[in-house]
């Protein structure tokens, strides 16, 4: 299940509004098929793993981070594919909260003679899709408040640049990267580069090239063609201000 979680995390935010899901088929102590869901309308993790396993899926154990879907949306229900593949046992972590699927798969699979085990690494699997669970239950945005504050309630300390340390600031950047909406890519590119350039100028614990290259890698993964041109324009200016050879800074691709 931990390996299935790692696979699910590879999708990042590309799955929205669907959850991040990883799936692994195990037979005779070895993995015979694995996959993760990449985005709405694309094959689900279970279907990918079954396709990769082929005939080896028959009699295998299926580890899935979330309860397999049992309704027909943009893709067919995973419960049908699991039954046809001849899987012996399904083990999943999170229960789906979508009313179209919630608690249905266990009944469907058990009726087909497939053993079902639920709640394995449930906490880790639930944490992976906190935003999905929140939106599905409430139909309200998933909001994260970023706040640095001392124990006595101060937002700044005279004579100090930072309240938090390097690890906390790195975690903030990770949260930013993993919670951007695809529909706001151009503003995101601007935010990425502004943060990177600011770190290059003021943060002695962040190497300038490391800060810039990390921001560029994110921008390359998320940029639209229009915003990619903006990224390259800023890089040209940054390169000049750094006085570094061009080869030391990776250019974003449009």
Residue 184: strand, helix, or coil: helix
Backbone angles phi, psi at 124, to 5 degrees: -65, -40
CB under 8 Å to 166, separation ≥6 — which residues? Answer: 205, 206
Instruction: Map tokens 């798969």 to a residue.
Output: 105
Backbone angles phi, psi at 252, to 5 degrees: -75, 150
Beta bridge partner(s), residue 56:
none
Instruction: Map tokens 């945005």 to a residue.
Output: 141
Q: Exposure string (b/e) for 212-250, b if CB count within 10 Å is 16 or more?
A: bebbbebbbebbeeebbebbeebbeebbeeeeeeeeebe
Task: For residue 238, give the nearest of 228, 229, 225, 251 by alpha carbon.
Answer: 251
Which residue among 6, 46, 171, 226 is the active-site one? Answer: 46
Rounded to whole angstroms, the Cα distance separating 96 from 116 reads 15
Q: Give, in degrees to the nearest 5, the angle at Cα 52 between 49 and 56.
A: 95
Residue 171 annotated as catalytic: no
Task: For residue 198, give the nearest of 228, 161, 164 by alpha carbon.
Answer: 161
Segments in 10-115 forming alpha helices (H): 45-53, 78-85, 104-111
* Bond before 236 cis per omega within 30 degrees: no
Active site amino acids: 46
């Amino acid at each position: 299940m931990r390996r299935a979680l790692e696979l699910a995390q590879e999708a990042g935010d590309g799955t929205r509004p669907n959850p991040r899901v990883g799936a692994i088929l195990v037979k005779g102590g070895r993995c015979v098929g694995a996959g993760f869901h990449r985005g709405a309308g694309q094959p689900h993790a279970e279907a990918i793993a079954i396709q990769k396993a082929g005939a080896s899926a028959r009699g295998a154990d299926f580890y899935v981070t979330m309860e397999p879907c049992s309704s027909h949306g943009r893709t067919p229900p995973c419960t049908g594919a699991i039954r046809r593949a001849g899987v012996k046992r399904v083990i999943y972590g999170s229960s789906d909260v979508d009313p179209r699927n919630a608690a249905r798969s266990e009944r469907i699979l058990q009726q087909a003679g497939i053993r079902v085990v639920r709640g394995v690494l449930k906490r880790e699997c639930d944490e992976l899709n906190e935003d999905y669970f929140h939106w599905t239950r409430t139909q309200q945005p998933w909001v994260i408040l970023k706040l640095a504050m001392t124990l006595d309630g101060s937002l700044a300390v005279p004579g100090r640049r930072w309240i938090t340390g390097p690890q906390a600031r790195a975690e903030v950047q990770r949260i930013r990267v993993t919670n951007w909406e695809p529909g706001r890519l151009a503003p995101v590119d601007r935010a990425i580069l502004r943060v990177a350039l600011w770190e290059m100028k003021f943060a002695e614990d962040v190497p300038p090239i490391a800060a810039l290259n990390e921001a560029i890698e994110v921008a390359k993964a998320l940029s639209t063609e229009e915003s990619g041109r903006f990224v390259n324009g800023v890089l040209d200016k940054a390169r000049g201000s750094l006085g570094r050879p061009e080869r030391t800074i990776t250019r974003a691709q449009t």
